[in-house]
Structure 1
Amino acid sequence: MTLSSMKASLRAYERKVFTGAKALAGAGAVAVVATWQQQLAELDTTRDQFIAATGENELVSGAYQHISGSLDGLSAVIGSGDKEAIMAAAMQFYASLTEAHSAFGELVPLSLRGEDTVQPETLMRLSGILGSALGLS
């Protein structure tokens, strides 16, 4: 797998999370988070290949642990029904995901990655979508 295709796998996961975030407000929230956990686990091979290709074990492993921990935090609050806690945990998870994506992107030569960065307005849009779905805005 090339660095570009590894980066594309990470970006695809990020898009799945973004497009599925609205479901966190519904009865299927637990299933959505479980799906994201499964999809993240399926990226283990990509993580290992990224480490092998870049030699950045500490950075990549640390980022995956942070993403996983944030997702576990979201999973822990989903059942509580506390909309503000769900919102905070969801935003923390997505922020950890985008931060890792940006860090991994920097490991890919500019000629291969182009100007692929997560825009700050993406976080604001997610906050608006999720806040509206949860009835917080």
Structure 2
Amino acid sequence: MSSYGIRVIYGSWFEHTRGWLSMRESENFLLLSYEDMKKDPRGTIQKICDFLEKKLEPSELDMVLKYSSFQAMNENKMSNFNITPNIMAPHNLILMRKGTTGDWKNHLTVAQAEAFDKVFQEKMAGFPPGLFPWE
């Protein structure tokens, strides 16, 4: 973590996220959160279908649910970075860890969480807090 906050491989997470969120009022923009997907996967898939104006039969929806589950994607080498060259995923980068929400509480100290909150408030000023449904 730098003095500016979290950095992703190709730059600042805050800049990346602010850039996308600045387009959230566009008609071709759909904002989803992992937390919402975990709480209601079927409803989230239906929301995606509505956004894409795509009707799925119940059996198709069940198949999407099955193959988009954390377990299925974690086992699929095409979605879990097992086949990604080291230049794109350096240092054994793991993007799929547990598939749970709120696990950051097991990794950050209270002081680290407070420091993150301070930087987050500064960097994400102007966006409604409801956009970030983190526990």
Q: TM-score, normalised by structure 1?
A: 0.27
Q: TM-score, normalised by structure 2?
A: 0.27
Which of the two has greater helix per residue? 1
Select the structure with the greater relative contact order (CA < 8 A; seq sep ≥ 6): 1
